[in-house]
Chains A and B, each alone.
Chain A
Amino acid sequence: MAEESYLTDDFLRQLVNVGEVDILVGLPTHNNAQTIGSIVQTIQSGILRGFPRERAVIINADGGSRDGTRELVTGVSIDDVRPASNLHALRTLHSISTEYPNSPSSGAALRTILAAAELLRAKACAVLSPNSANIEREWISKLLSPIYRDGFDLVTPTYRRHKFEGLLITNLVYPMTRALYGLRIREAYSPEFGFSGRLGSQFLGQHAWNDGTEGAGVELRFTLAAITGRNLICQSFLGEKMHVERHAADLVPALRETVGALFSALEPDFPVWSAVTHSQSLPTTGADHEVILEPLRVNRKRLREMFSSGVAELESVFQSILSLSTLAELKRIAALGEEEFHYPPELWVRTVYEFAASYRKSVISRDHIIQALAPLFRGRAFTFLVENRNASEDEVENNIEGLCLEFERLKPYLLQLWESRE
């Protein structure tokens, strides 16, 4: 119960007033005043619809908003929701808010939510992102029902995405977690997920919150912790995912959050993933994926150029990270023209695995290793875009499945690299 000192007195007082709950919805925010009001209303509506009898609370963990986000969260009344939705609340539905210390971070926000969930002895919890522009009230049931009613410990979402959206997920996070940890979790790194109070407490107690990563990729770490803890996991289809705003040039931070989190988990999780020999699918409510095929303008040329220049500029770095053959192959394709350029799955998987092994060995600064992956990922992204330019939904899925199988096929190579250090 050391978390108590981490929480402010005012927040603890609010928690005392809420008391034990069945359902908890966590909402990490930072300057989300534009959308937060309607999101809280949607959540309230979802709770009333899906869990009319249960004791419920919405917990807002705020990273120091200066635009009145917190006031909006606590100011939304259930009566604002009720007339339009024809819903009636049997119980008091609390919305409480706290500001966690230090700068905005998803790790600190999740830690606050988990601590609250533990203190309130919440049975089923969900976290939603205020950056999702189209949260629907059905999401509440979709994320919480499998926990509350069916005994699952973690519900990860699946979305309807554009075929070129989430390339880091489709080309690295999904296939690599699937190959290593053995579960075909489409969105292991998502700001929306549901979890049991038990899993929340487990993670709260075991996770190294002060490891210097500022909580980067904590959602992925949470998923991996659920897997290694042998918790019951399922997926739930939430529909289309729309973002409030998009940041175009945030690949390196994204790599830190995803690949950094994944690579850093590999060492402690070695006993688990090294024993996994194949992957299996998960119970899934609704589709396990859906693809939008509308044409999309992407500056592919720029991606390839950044790949080629990156390979040239970072050659000395790559010499520390990659095998001679892999580096040679990369240099070869970097010299190809746009029409001939192709970053094949096998080479990509070898690249990623060699990066993972080097990360473990800390051949150079770990953060530099992650940064060095950025140009190579752009090359792989270029190939994915070209391959799937005119692909149907099934063809896109087949290509992703092919990459996954390549990650699984080459897993012994990673084990070999891993064990070579021993």
Chain B
Amino acid sequence: MSLNRDVLWYKDAIVYQVHVRTFHDSNGDGIGDFQGLEEKLDYLQQLGINAIWLMPFFPSPLRDDGYDIADYNAVHSSYGTLEDFRKFLGSAHDRGIRVIIEMVLNHTSDQHPWFQESRSSPDNPRRDWYVWSDTDRRYKGVRIIFLDTETSNWAWDPISKSFYWHRFFSHQPDLNYDNPAVREQMWNVMKFWLEMGVDGFRLDAVPYLVEREGTNCENLPETHAVLKELRRKLDEQFPGRMLLAEANQWPADLRPYFGDGDEFHMAFHFPLMPRMFMGLKLEDRKPITEILQQTPEIPALCQWSLFLRNHDELTLEMVTDLERDYMYDSYAESKTMRLNLGIRRRLAPLLDNDRRRIELMNGMLMSLPGTPIIYYGDEIGMGDNINLGDRNGVRTPMQWDGGTNGGFSSAPLERLYSPLIQDPVYGYPAVNVLRQKASEHSLLNWMQRIVTVRKSTGVFGRGSIEFLYPANHRILAYVRRLGNEVVLVVNNLSSTAQAVELDLRRYKGNIPIEMFGGNMFPRVGDLPYLLTLGPYQFYWFRLRRV
């Protein structure tokens, strides 16, 4: 198998997000590595995903899980070598799996040689690579993102005796994108990896690249100009590669990141994710349809990226206070589950390990407009460990089997980069790949099935969406259409059985064919189409005129 040549490949992609450290340890040092990841590519191919998004794997002091990069052109020694990465990349491509890597543009680690030089002297040529100030009163009023740990966006540097700007942790100084040399250098970094063959970048924290006095220093036109310049170079020199934006913003503020199709190919739809959880808890489609109504049209070549969970907390920045309180009370009763403005939990524990709800949420992930991202381990219903600090509780080793260290590593327990999940419900003896492979009705096999069904049509990746608004608000129903292909999706968000009447007169004469089982349902006529759905049940129907 090889990669298809379609430049819109990202629209049909099903992305698997993984940190190399967490997946599989090939050399027994307790830390996952590229060789280990390569060994597990068959598993991922079998799951059906066709793109991997790798979290940062660069040399780093790892004070922010690798988002504090100390060298952009190398691989952290714990994960292997550049050659290991190159080999993994080739193997992935051989299996038809594309590789998207993380690129942290906004800031470096304070251990990065650029910063070391910059702080060494005001006369250093790299002094202007970062944002320095004699006072911490510039850019007043700009919000602090990591509220739980930071009190200011300025940090005092005792070496150069001045303040430096940081939007995230104080050990992550922001690069100065007003400096052309910085812009050029960061493109060179991207080019380095593109020439090696990576298929795209997930660009981290893009709203914060440029600062201007009197603004909130987010989403500034100057930032968009930087990003457009990168995109132009990418298209000119590496056509068919992709940029994915990490911009945790409201839909209207996100829209500019697509530009006129000349900025990002994809962007995460951050506000949708918490509202899917909210809709499920409320048993009401309102939060979901409301946010999607507010979501602006995007250029034809662009795509939203959807996810249920990821390596960060379930962010509640893009919700109202009322919604945030509701989400905390519903999904994070214990304060230890909360971090910053979010909830640091995995999918299965969030949903009380309720298989029906896990399936429904994945069903919506796979059928709403956008490219779905599966966070590693969620395909088997892995749990979390809220006793681990920061977001480490959702970054524990992958659970491959019930044997030593869950099959993740042969290292002694105490050398593992993180303890495995060991509780009776979610622990690796109970929840692991091997066990689920052997069980026909396991979550893993179900995920494999839904991925297959999703891939059986282009309508989910590329089709339009039209919401139906049946009077029963517990039902979320929509029609996806691509050319002559029409798919009807009906989701019951309720914990109880529901009846719903759908106005399908537009599709009169069509026969709904349930896509998982292939069975026909009664032909659509003039009358409202009556369906009954069990608790949390959903249907995907291909509407066929026979």
Q: Which residues of A contact B (CB under 8 A)?
A: 13-14, 16-17, 19-20, 52-53, 55, 88-92, 94
Contacts and interface: CB of A to CB of B under 8 A. Distances in A.
B284 A92 contact: yes
A232 to B, nearest CB: 27
A359 to B, nearest CB: 48
B322 A52 contact: yes
Interface string B311-326: 0000000001011001
A14 B286 CA distance: 18
A90 B470 contact: no
A196 to B, nearest CB: 22
Contacts of A89: 286
Interface residues of B, number: 21
Nearest to B501: A13
Given A90-B278, A91-B284, A92-B284, A16 B322 contact: no
A107 to B, nearest CB: 28
A14 B471 CA distance: 7
B287 A90 contact: yes
B282 interface: yes
Interface string B503-530: 0000000000000000000000000000
A19 B472 CA distance: 8
A16 B470 CA distance: 12
Contacts of B496: 19-20
A94 B472 contact: no
A17 B500 CA distance: 7
A92 B494 CA distance: 13
Interface in B415-474: 470-474
B499 interface: yes
Contact of B286 (A16, A52, A53, A91): A91
A278 B499 CA distance: 53
A16 B326 CA distance: 26
A16 B323 contact: no
B499 A16 contact: yes
B126 interface: no
Contacts of A88: 320, 322-323
A93 to B, nearest CB: 9
29 contacts: A13-B471, A13-B501, A14-B471, A16-B472, A16-B499, A17-B471, A17-B472, A17-B473, A19-B472, A19-B474, A19-B498, A20-B496, A52-B322, A53-B282, A55-B283, A55-B284, A88-B320, A88-B322, A88-B323, A90-B284, A90-B286, A90-B322, A91-B282, A91-B284, A91-B473, A92-B284, A92-B286, A92-B473, A94-B473
A8 B473 CA distance: 21
B241 interface: no
B473 A90 contact: no
B494 A90 contact: no
Given A19-B494, A89-B286, A94-B473, 8 more contacts: A14-B471, A17-B471, A19-B496, A20-B496, A88-B322, A90-B284, A90-B286, A91-B284
Interface string B279-298: 00011111100000000000
A91 B473 CA distance: 9
A19 B494 CA distance: 10
Contacts of A14: 471
Nearest to B321: A88
Contact of B326 (A13, A20, A90, A92): A90
A88 B326 CA distance: 12
A362 B87 CA distance: 102
A14 B470 CA distance: 11
Nearest to A96: B471
